C-alpha cells in the first residue's frame, strides 16, 4: 500500500499559489491510517520517548496515535490563547505568513526525551518554533517526525543537528 495515493492536492489553498496536501482521504481509510502510523513509529527504531509533541492542528492527529503507540505522554502545541495554563510562546514565519505557537510551561520536564510530530515539513518554520519551545523547557529532541515533506522548500536544512523523518517526500 502506498500512503501517497491517499494524499489529495488542493490548488490555491489556503491562498493563491499554495498547493495544499490534504490528508483527509488518508484519514478516511483505516488501513492507510494504520500503515502511516506503522511507518512513523518504525522510524524510531526502539528509541525511548517520554513525550510526543503534536503541532496544531493536523499534528494532533498522528501525534496522539504515536504517543499511545509509544506509551508516551502527548503534548499539544497550540495557537495563542488556546491553552488554559501558563504558557511559553514562539513566533515563526511560514510559507504564507507568520504565526505564534504556545506550550504549557509544565508540559516538558528537564531531560524528557521528545518526539516532535507534525503533518508536513515545508520551510521548517513551524517545527523550528516547536523545537525552541521544547528546548526552553529542557527537553531533549530525539526526532522530528512528519507525515509529508515538501523537499524543494528545504525545511530539513533548518535542522542540521537533528534527526528528521518523513513518511512521504514530494
Question: Catalytic amino acids?
Answer: 58, 95
DSSP string, 65-127: HHHHHHT-EEEEEBSTT-SSS-EEEEEEEETTEEEEEEEETTSS-TT-EEEEEEEEESSSHHH
Side-by-side strand order, sheet with 51-55: 73-77, 51-55, 113-121, 140-149, 164-169
Question: How many angstroms separate the CA atoms of 158 and 134, rounded?
Answer: 16
Q: Are 23 and 168 in contact (CB under 8 A)?
A: no
In the Cβ-directed half-sphere of 159, how many Cα atoms lie within 13 Å? Answer: 25
162 DSSP 8-state letter: S
Question: How many angstroms separate the CA atoms of 34 and 152, rounded?
Answer: 28
Amino acid at each position: 500500500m502506498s500512503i501517497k495515493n491517499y494524499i489529495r492536492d488542493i490548488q490555491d489553498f489556503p491562498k493563491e499559489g499554495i498547493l495544499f496536501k490534504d490528508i483527509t482521504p488518508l484519514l478516511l481509510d483505516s488501513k492507510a491510517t494504520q500503515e502511516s502510523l506503522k511507518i512513523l513509529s518504525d522510524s524510531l527504531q526502539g528509541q525511548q520517548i517520554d513525550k510526543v509533541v503534536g503541532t496544531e492542528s493536523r499534528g494532533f492527529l498522528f501525534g496522539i496515535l504515536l504517543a499511545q503507540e509509544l506509551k508516551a505522554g502527548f503534548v499539544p502545541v497550540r495557537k495563542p490563547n488556546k491553552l488554559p495554563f501558563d504558557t511559553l510562546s514562539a513566533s515563526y514565519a511560514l510559507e504564507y505568513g507568520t504565526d505564534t505557537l504556545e506550550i504549557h510551561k509544565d508540559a516538558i520536564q528537564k531531560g524528557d526525551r521528545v518526539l516532535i510530530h507534525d503533518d508536513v515539513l515545508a520551510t521548517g518554520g513551524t517545527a523550528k518554533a516547536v523545537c525552541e519551545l521544547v528546548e526552553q523547557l529542557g527537553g531533549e529532541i530525539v526526532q522530528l517526525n512528519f507525515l509529508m515533506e515538501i523537499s524543494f522548500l528545504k525545511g530539513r536544512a533548518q535542522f542540521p543537528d537533528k534527526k528528521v523523518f518523513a513518511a512521504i517526500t514530494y
